[in-house]
């Protein structure tokens, strides 16, 4: 018998509005900073959603946003705001790494001006504005009831499967919405194939959590999981492929009452994805396997140059968004080639360069707040375990991939990360009539 709690008419206008925004973020937010107009559209959509939120109330008693999420938003916004505050010349010029910029201003006859801490204030402002959509998604998700939060897991999974099907279709047509040099790999709605792999991994985690709650049949889960697994394999993302097993483990853990069946479904989905690749793209096995040969990977050189740049600007950083500008002065001649280093390919290293010690402290405090939110959600008897488990899985995927890439620089992934936190937030303030019994019992 179908669960009446999943009937569409049981959902509020706020749920559908937030779902529509998440869809917009997934479709338009994968291009990165080189494609600013779609990102601007996502930011406008977030502001429209925020402005319309009070008018979308259905009359039933809602829940306020989680105070811990406000603290998290403040921690995230603090570094860019700090870097945009104008400083007197004596203080600004004394900061590490500012001597060349001060000399340039003096040569142009503009010495003695008040300047912000950031060497690239326009880029730092863009970074600050890019925080709006994920923060808004995070806060508004924490105002939904438990039933709607569980349904949001299904929305994320469905969007991921749809994105995977689109990515496979355009890849077969040898076309990419963003062009570039990765047309031989599946990327779809993302300019970066690593970000595409993360999108599919997050969808797998959401599918696992959603299906665990629904007690869905193995076939209903295996088919979308196989589609996502195939898409991940064809991205050629080494870390994405390595993390594919994490999605399978999350699924098996969430379905602990049916461990054998869960394991068979997880392994079967990955095997089905590999089999589909053998049938539809038999020539891709060798290139995918060759991706795990790291002898030609330029990340080691990039990290070495980035560490040198960090030492030049420590402890206050060069300004969020400034990496492409400041790294050129630290690049060794032996590492210079025709490529342009636009990212450090290590989010923690890039934050250390751009935001310095304040940025690293913000990461530490932010992760501590997220851990507290997850722990509190898991400790609440009314909360379905699927929600904090998905939040934990999402941040595990993002944190691990951030060691070799920059997933949160993709606005679509940042919005999904914010949504993941919001889904586990505010557990102590949800009205009794909106709470579901734990684990569906």
pLDDT digits (tens, 9 = 90+) for 7-66: 555 788 999 999 999 999 999 998 877 788 999 999 999 999 999 998 887 655 556 667
At 31 the pLDDT is: 82
pLDDT value at 278 more than 50: no
Q: Which residue has the higher pLDDT, 379 or 88?
A: 88
Concatenate the DSSP letters of all residues of 154-166 into one string: HHHHHHHHHHHHH
At 252 the pLDDT is: 60
193: buried, middle or exposed (CB in 10 Å: 19+, 13-18, 0-12)?
A: buried
pLDDT value at 157 more than 90: yes
At 116 the pLDDT is: 93
**Contact (CB, 8 A) for 400 and 244:** no
Most confident of the following: 97-101, 286-290, 343-347, 349-353 = 349-353
pLDDT digits (tens, 9 = 90+) for 308-338: 889 999 999 999 999 988 888 777 665 566 6
At 100 the pLDDT is: 84
At 90 the pLDDT is: 87
Please compute, for residue 215, the number of CA atoms within 13 A of its CA located in the half-sphere on the CB side.
Answer: 8
pLDDT value at 73 more than 50: yes
If you search the block for the tokens 């690593």, which residue do you land on? 194
Q: Which residue has the higher pLDDT, 277 or 378?
A: 378
pLDDT value at 282 more than 80: no
| Rounded percentage of the chain residues whose pLDDT exceeds 90 | 38
Most confident of the following: 26-40, 41-55, 111-125, 265-279 = 41-55
How does residue 128 score in pLDDT terms, banded at 50, 70 and 90? Answer: very high
Domain boundaries defined on the chain: 13-91+113-424
pLDDT digits (tens, 9 = 90+) for 289-305: 445 445 555 677 788 88
> Distance between CA atoms of 373 and 422, rounded to whole angstroms?
9
How does residue 249 score in pLDDT terms, banded at 50, 70 and 90? Answer: low
Spell 66-105 as b/e; 16+ CB within 10 A means b: bebbeebbebbebbbebbbeebeeeebbebebbeebbeeb
At 336 the pLDDT is: 61
Write down the mean pLDDT value for the chain: 80
Cα dihedral 376, 144, 37, 325, rounded to 10, equals: -10
Most confident of the following: 65-69, 89-93, 102-106 = 89-93
pLDDT value at 103 more than 60: yes
At 289 the pLDDT is: 45
At 247 the pLDDT is: 63
Helix %, strand %, coil % of the chain (to 5): 70, 0, 30
pTM: 0.85
At 368 the pLDDT is: 92
pLDDT digits (tens, 9 = 90+) for 357-386: 999 999 999 999 999 998 888 866 555 678
At 197 the pLDDT is: 92
> Distance between CA atoms of 216 and 210, rounded to whole angstroms?
9
**Contact (CB, 8 A) for 29 and 415:** yes
How does residue 136 score in pLDDT terms, banded at 50, 70 and 90? Answer: very high
pLDDT digits (tens, 9 = 90+) for 406-420: 999 999 999 999 999
pLDDT value at 277 more than 80: no
How does residue 218 score in pLDDT terms, banded at 50, 70 and 90? Answer: low
> Distance between CA atoms of 281 and 52, rounded to whole angstroms?
46
Angstrom distances, CA of residue 358 to CA of 205, 313, 325, 424 = 32, 12, 20, 26
């Amino acid at each position: 018998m179908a669960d009446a709690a999943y009937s569409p008419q049981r959902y509020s206008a706020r749920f559908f509005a937030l779902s529509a925004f998440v869809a917009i973020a997934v479709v338009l937010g994968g291009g990165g900073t080189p494609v600013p107009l779609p990102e601007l559209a996502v930011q406008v959509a977030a502001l429209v959603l925020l402005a319309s939120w009070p008018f979308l109330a259905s009359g039933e008693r809602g829940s306020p946003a989680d105070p811990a999420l406000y603290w998290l938003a403040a921690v995230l916004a603090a570094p860019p705001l700090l870097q945009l505050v104008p400083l007197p010349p004596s203080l600004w010029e004394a900061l590490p790494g500012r001597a060349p910029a001060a000399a340039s201003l003096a040569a142009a006859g503009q010495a003695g001006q008040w300047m912000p801490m950031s060497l690239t204030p326009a880029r730092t402002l863009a970074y600050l504005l890019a925080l709006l959509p994920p923060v808004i998604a995070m806060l508004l998700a924490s105002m939904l009831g438990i039933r709607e939060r569980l349904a949001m897991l299904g929305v994320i999974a469905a969007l991921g499967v749809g994105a995977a099907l689109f990515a496979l279709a355009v890849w077969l047509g040898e076309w990419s919405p963003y062009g570039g040099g990765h047309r031989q790999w599946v990327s779809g709605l993302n300019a970066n194939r690593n970000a595409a792999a993360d999108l599919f991994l997050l969808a797998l985690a959401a599918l696992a959590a959603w299906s665990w709650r629904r007690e869905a049949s193995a076939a209903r889960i295996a088919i979308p999981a196989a589609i996502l697994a195939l898409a991940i394999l064809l991205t050629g993302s080494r870390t994405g492929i390595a993390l594919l097993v994490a999605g399978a483990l999350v699924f098996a853990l969430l379905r602990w009452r049916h461990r054998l069946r869960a394991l068979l479904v997880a392994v079967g989905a990955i095997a089905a994805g590999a089999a589909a690749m053998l049938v539809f793209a038999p020539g891709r096995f060798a290139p995918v396997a060759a991706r795990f040969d790291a002898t030609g990977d330029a990340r080691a050189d990039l990290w070495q140059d980035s560490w040198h740049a960090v030492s030049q600007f420590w402890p206050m950083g060069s300004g969020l968004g400034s990496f492409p500008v400041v790294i050129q002065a630290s690049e060794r001649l032996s590492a210079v080639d025709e490529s342009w280093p636009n990212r450090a390919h290590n989010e923690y290293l890039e934050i250390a360069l751009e935001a310095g010690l304040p940025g690293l402290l913000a990461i530490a405090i932010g992760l501590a707040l997220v851990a507290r939110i997850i722990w509190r959600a898991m400790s609440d008897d009314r909360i379905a375990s699927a929600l904090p488990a998905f939040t934990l899985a999402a941040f595990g995927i993002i944190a691990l991939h951030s060691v070799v890439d920059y997933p949160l620089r993709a606005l679509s992934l940042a919005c999904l990360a914010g949504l993941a936190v919001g889904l586990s937030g505010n557990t102590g303030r949800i009205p009794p009539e909106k709470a579901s019994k734990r684990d569906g019992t």
